[in-house]
Structure 1
Amino acid sequence: MTTTLSATEITKQLLVVLHECLHGADESGAFLDPGDDGLFSLLAGLSAEEASRPVAGFSVATHAYHLATSFDVFLDWITGKRDIAPDWDESWSRSETDDEEWAALRHRLEQRGAALEAAVAEHVPVDAQSAWGAAGLLAHTAFHLGALRVKFDLLRP
């Protein structure tokens, strides 16, 4: 017997994995070990000075600024605003931050993360282009989480 999943069920599972990427794994994870940090707690574990230090290429701050831009772009796409032309070069241009900017950037990412989770829940079950954008959001964010975990380990041996 073949079972076809509903768009709502697929969206729920996508949201579980997105939540893991942003907030970390609980008892079990799709790709993180239980207890591993997600994006937000990983970033919160670094000072502005550490985040500004280039390690293995770009600094953590550079990745965070890029992610902030990408979260805005994905939010627009998922909610139906698709006539966007982001400046990706600009999103990679900042490499340093101070304590105040670092706290504000982390807060912005958390706010956008919550907005993205809500947008995925609302739009993905009813719009294929939103689902495409949500899949891209998850892949893109998971990629950067992996890169940031490597940088974190190098900054905090």
Structure 2
Amino acid sequence: MGKTLAESLKMLLNETFEGPENGGSYYTDTRPNAGIFGTLEDVGAEDASLSIHGSTIAAHADHIRYYLWVIRTMISGEEFEKDWGASWTISQVDEAKWTEIKEGLQTEYHTLLAEIDTIDLEEWLTNVNATIAHSAYHLGALRQMLKALESEK
């Protein structure tokens, strides 16, 4: 029997954030920790604060967190004002702020993942798909930024 729509969406979100399962992949590589969380795991605050091509790893991570929050807030029906520019203001972070960003990203991801089972997917399918695509884009950007850092060391 095939996967349900909710199972499929959660599997793709999982690959983007946690990495692929069971040695197979749809669009990331198959190495362990290939998702966003594994990519950020060993990045310290100092490296997360370095400007690379006009942005920082910390800004990308916080922007992903903000995007997830926006989608979840829209789904919940709460009134709010989006401020995409504010989601890019993070530049310099200390270890405490960097930990806060990564923990906030984990919280938003896990909350959205759980909500997929409770929302009307016909109504929110485009938003959830956009979340996967948007986050996968930033995963690629983060990896390129880390490669640029490695080549400078």
Q: Same fold (TM over 0.5)?
A: yes
Q: Does 1:56 align with 2:53?
A: yes
What do residues 63-97 of structure 1 show as CA deviations (whole Å, max 9, x unaligned)?
1121121111011123x326432111111112111
Flag structure 1 segments of 5+ consecutive residues without an equivalent.
none
CA contact (8 A) 1:120 1:130 kept: no
Number of the residue aligned with 2:122: 128
State the secondary structure of the residue aligned to 1:29.
coil
Number of the residue aligned with 2:28: 32
Quote the RMSD (CA, aligned, Å). Answer: 1.7
Q: Distance in 2 between matches of 1:39 and 1:13?
A: 19
Q: TM-score, normalised by structure 2?
A: 0.89
Q: Does 1:140 align with 2:134?
A: yes
Q: Does 1:93 align with 2:89?
A: yes
CA contact (8 A) 1:15 1:121 kept: no
Q: TM-score, normalised by structure 1?
A: 0.87
Number of equivalences? 148
Number of the residue aligned with 2:17: 22
Identity of aligned residues (%): 26
State the secondary structure of the residue aligned to 1:121.
coil
Q: Distance in 2 between matches of 1:100 and 1:34?
A: 31
Partner residue of 2:67 out of 65, 70, 80:
70
1:41 is displaced (CA, Å) by 1.4
Q: Distance in 2 between matches of 1:155 and 1:30?
A: 27
Q: Distance in 2 between matches of 1:55 and 1:11?
A: 36
1:56 is displaced (CA, Å) by 2.1
Number of the residue aligned with 1:108: 104
1:32 is displaced (CA, Å) by 0.9
